[in-house]
């Protein structure tokens, strides 16, 4: 049989990003495909974005673009807090944000609380470049429900980073005011909450929910944004709640060797394109 310019095996992974939009990636190998106690996890190698981790059908990490997301989630807060020595990461079991947070000498301890220990293990097994911070001496890893953890830790953290999946099933509560109010109590007097808040195009309903729910407790809520190629629409938002602290000004030089975040990005990520500014003004009205 002569096969020219055509593959005999044509394997694809599809994420149904919305009811009307899909992302297809050609797969070269499937490394893990199983149900955990909480969700379905897939690890596969793709031609375009390298290795990917998928939870319940939604891409969480690709080797090629994870830095865009992890750097924004970690460094905007770490650089704008005057003394970010105690940090809590909610979710984020893959360790990507933790890898960024441990780059700061000023850090004392970082606690990562993820409900699913199998995500932590999958990252250790298949994503050494992402999970490499998990064994850092300043890191404490707790496989448990963060909503339970947080109510027993009042007034403890300088920065809390919520690296959730899309807010469905067990993660839905992470976009609700009762959780944000527990986070508020868990922050020290000057503190910052950063949460991933989806795409303003594909999921503006969720972005709005996070913003308005956060506003019920945090007087000051700030929206910033960045590129994230493999997440729905490629434009991603991050919402920051400030407890007597404004995150817009960066106070320290970021670690060297970053691939996305910089002082200039910090300055500009709070500048919203007009359509987004308009949406936020409507929320505030
Ligand atoms: N957590 C946010 C992923 C959201 C992606 N949504 C989607 N693909 N529909 C990422 C975890 C990385 N540490």
User: What's the 226 CA to ligand 1 centre distance in angstroms?
Assistant: 14
228: CA distance to ligand 1 center in Å?
10
Task: Give the whole-angstrom CA distance, residue 224 versus residue 140.
Answer: 28
The segment(s) of the chain belonging to CATH 2.30.140.10 are 11-62
Cβ(91)–Cβ(165) below 8 Å? yes
The average confidence (pLDDT) of the chain is 95
Cβ–ligand 1 contact at 165 (below 6 Å) = yes
What is the distance in A from the centroid of ligand 1 to the CA of 193? Answer: 18
| DSSP label at residue 159 | E
- Indicate whether residue 96 lines ligand 1 (CB < 6 A): yes
Atom of ligand 1 nearest to the CA of 70: 13
Find the 1 Cα to ligand 1 centroid distance in Å: 42
What's residue 169's pLDDT? 79
Confidence at residue 174, expressed as pLDDT on a 0 to 100 scale: 84
Residue 25 Cβ < 6 Å to ligand 1 = no
Pocket test for ligand 1, best of 95, 196, 234 (most atoms within 8 A of CB): 196
For the chain, residues with pLDDT lower than 70 are 1-8
Q: What is the pLDDT of residue 8?
A: 67
CA distance 79 to 140: 21
Per-residue pLDDT tens digits for 122-157: 999 999 999 999 999 999 999 999 999 999 999 999
Location of each CATH 3.40.50.150 domain in the chain: 66-281
Whether residue 56 lies in the annotated active site: no
**Polymer length in residues for the chain:** 285
Tokens of 47: 């031609």
Query: Which fold would CATH assign to domain 66-281?
Result: Rossmann fold (3.40.50)
User: What is the number of the ligand 1 atom nearest to the C-alpha of 164?
Assistant: 1
Sheet holding 58-62: strands in order across? 12-18, 21-35, 40-46, 50-55, 58-62
Q: What is the pLDDT of residue 168?
A: 79
pLDDT at 278: 93
Contact in structure between 265 and 225 (CB atoms under 8 Å): no
In the numeric block, the tokens 């919305």 are attached to: 18
The residue assigned the tokens 């000023």 is: 106
CATH topology of domain 11-62: Spermidine Synthase; Chain: A, domain 2 (2.30.140)
Could you tell me the distance, in angstroms and rounded to a whole number, from the CA of residue 7 to the centre of ligand 1?
A: 30
From the CA of 58, give the closest atom in ligand 1. Answer: 8
Catalytic, out of 114, 158, 163, 166? 163
């Amino acid at each position: 049989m002569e096969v020219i310019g055509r593959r005999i095996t044509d394997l694809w992974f599809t994420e149904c990003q919305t009811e009307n939009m899909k992302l297809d990636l050609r797969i070269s190998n499937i490394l893990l495909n199983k149900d955990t106690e909480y969700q379905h996890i897939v690890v596969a190698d793709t031609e375009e974005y390298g290795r990917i981790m998928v939870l319940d059908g939604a891409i969480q990490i690709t080797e090629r673009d994870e830095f865009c997301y992890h750097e924004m989630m970690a460094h905007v807060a770490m650089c704008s807090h005057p003394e970010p020595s105690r940090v809590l990461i909610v979710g984020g079991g893959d360790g990507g944000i933790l890898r960024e947070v441990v780059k700061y000498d000023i850090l004392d301890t970082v606690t990562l609380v993820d409900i699913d220990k199998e995500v932590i293990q999958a990252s250790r097994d298949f994503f050494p470049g992402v999970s490499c911070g998990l064994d850092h001496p300043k890191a404490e890893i707790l496989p448990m429900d963060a909503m339970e953890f947080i109510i027993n830790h009042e007034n403890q953290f300088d920065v809390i980073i919520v690296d959730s999946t899309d807010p469905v099933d067990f993660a839905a509560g992470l976009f609700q005011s009762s959780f944000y109010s527990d986070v508020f109590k868990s922050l020290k007097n000057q503190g910052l909450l950063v949460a991933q808040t989806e795409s303003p195009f594909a999921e503006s309903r969720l972005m709005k929910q996070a913003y308005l729910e956060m506003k019920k407790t945090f007087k000051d809520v700030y929206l910033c944004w960045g590129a994230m190629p493999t997440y729905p629409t490629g434009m991603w938002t991050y919402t920051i709640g400030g407890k007597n602290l404004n995150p817009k000004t960066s106070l320290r030089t970021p670690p060297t060797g970053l691939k996305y975040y910089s002082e200039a990005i910090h300055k500009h990520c709070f500048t919203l394109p007009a359509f987004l500014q308009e949406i936020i003004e409507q929320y505030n009205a």
